[in-house]
A and B are shown apart, each in its own frame.
Chain A
Amino acid sequence: KQEVTQIPAALSVPEGENLVLNCSFTDSAIYNLQWFRQDPGKGLTSLLLIQSSQREQTSGRLNASLDKSSGRSTLYIAASQPGDSATYLCAVGDLYNFNKFYFGSGTKLNVKP
Chain B
Amino acid sequence: DAGVIQSPRHEVTEMGQEVTLRCKPISGHDYLFWYRQTMMRGLELLIYFNNNVPIDDSGMPEDRFSAKMPNASFSTLKIQPSEPRDSAVYFCASSLGTGNSYEQYFGPGTRLTVT
Contact = CB atoms under 8 A, between A and B. Distances in A.
B42 interface: yes
A97 interface: yes
Nearest to B55: A99
Contacts of B42: 103-106
B54 to A, nearest CB: 12
Interface of B is mostly: strand
B34 interface: no
Interface in A16-39: 31-32, 34, 36
A34 B97 contact: no
B45 interface: yes
Interface of A: 31-32, 34, 36, 41-46, 49, 51, 89, 91, 93, 97-101, 103-106
Interface of B: 4, 31, 33, 42-45, 48, 50, 55-56, 91, 93, 95, 97, 100-109, 111
